[in-house]
Amino acid sequence: MLEVKNLVIRFHDRIGGEAVHGVSFNMEAGERLGIVGESGAGKTLTALAITRLLKSETTEIDGEINFMGKDILHTSDKEMRDIRGKDIGFIFQDPVASLNPLMKVGPQIEEPLLLHTELSKQERQKRVLQAINDVDLPDPDVTIRKYPHQLSGGQCQRVMIASALICHPALLIADEPTTALDVTVQTQIIKLLKRKNEQENVGILYISHDLSLVRRLCTRVIVMYHGDIVESGDVEQVFTQPREAYTQRLIAAIPTRSKRYV
């Protein structure tokens, strides 16, 4: 489904400014792949390159990104707008900041349907209500009439997930989707993403610095460090038998019950 070959991302305003150095990986349809690493590792930049959301004025991208047989880096802007939201859904880090504060959540969830389908207003409304129900938001008829500030952070994240999935994309990119949420809500979001993957066979590219969440959701993991992939493999193998010293340090830093109360 997704093939990234020798991806290089450079910033024009940096001296020798390569931020991602020859990254390569594949994703199969319906796979749950995690990318982990500390801040600045290149995780988010890689995701933004896949969706062509990096500004061409400040960045240069080399390599190959092939998605469902399409050459992403050489696709026209119009074709790319059709891919984003329809074939690739994106969940951003801060759901509250990502939603329009002046627009009710119903129209925000509906927007991808307006852009990418020819459904009637009645059909779109039905899909929106179903999408809200699918992400476990209460009272869909009431929720669609609320503004983002009337919802909790976890509820806003569910709105973002509903919007990202409403066109049934083949790939969902989730960039630190639980960072601002408490532990209980984090667990609920991870369970929701796993359920949607199993029910709809949507591939999930899950980006996080939280290794424990990645382990719960993903079947395979990539470890990035300073713009390079330093290790990859089956998630349980990487977590129980890490080869690289950097991966070993990351895993050793995962909070455990005993560490929390020291």
Confidence of residue 258 (pLDDT cuts 50, 70, 90): very low
The pLDDT of residue 259 is 45
The pLDDT of residue 94 is 80
Angle at the Cα of 166 from the Cα atoms of 203 and 114, rounded to 5 degrees: 130
The pLDDT of residue 14 is 58
Q: Which CATH number fits domain 2-260: 3.40.190.10, 3.40.50.300, 2.60.40.10, 3.40.366.10?
A: 3.40.50.300
> Is 136:192 a contact under the CB 8 Å cutoff?
yes
Report d(CA 22, CA 254) in Å as an integer.
28
Kindly give, in sequence order, each residue whose CB lies less than 8 Å from that of residue 175, ignoring residues fewer than 6 positions away.
43, 44, 47, 90, 91, 92, 93, 207
The pLDDT of residue 182 is 86
Arithmetic mean of pLDDT, 249-259: 74
pLDDT tens digit sequence for 214-237: 999 999 999 999 999 999 999 999
The percent of residues above 70 in pLDDT, for the chain, comes to 96
pLDDT tens digit sequence for 112-160: 999 999 999 999 999 999 999 999 998 999 999 999 999 998 999 999 9
**For the range 46-51, what are the long-range contacts, defined as Cβ-Cβ under 8 Å and sequence gap of 24 or more?**
46/4, 46/7, 46/9, 46/20, 46/207, 46/224, 47/90, 47/173, 47/175, 47/205, 47/207, 49/7, 49/9, 49/20, 50/2, 50/4, 50/88, 50/173, 50/205, 51/84, 51/88, 51/90, 51/173
Arithmetic mean of pLDDT, 17-38: 93
> Is 232:220 a contact under the CB 8 Å cutoff?
yes
Q: What is the mean pLDDT of the chain?
A: 91
Judge whether residue 101 has pLDDT over 90.
yes
The pLDDT of residue 15 is 53
The pLDDT of residue 57 is 82
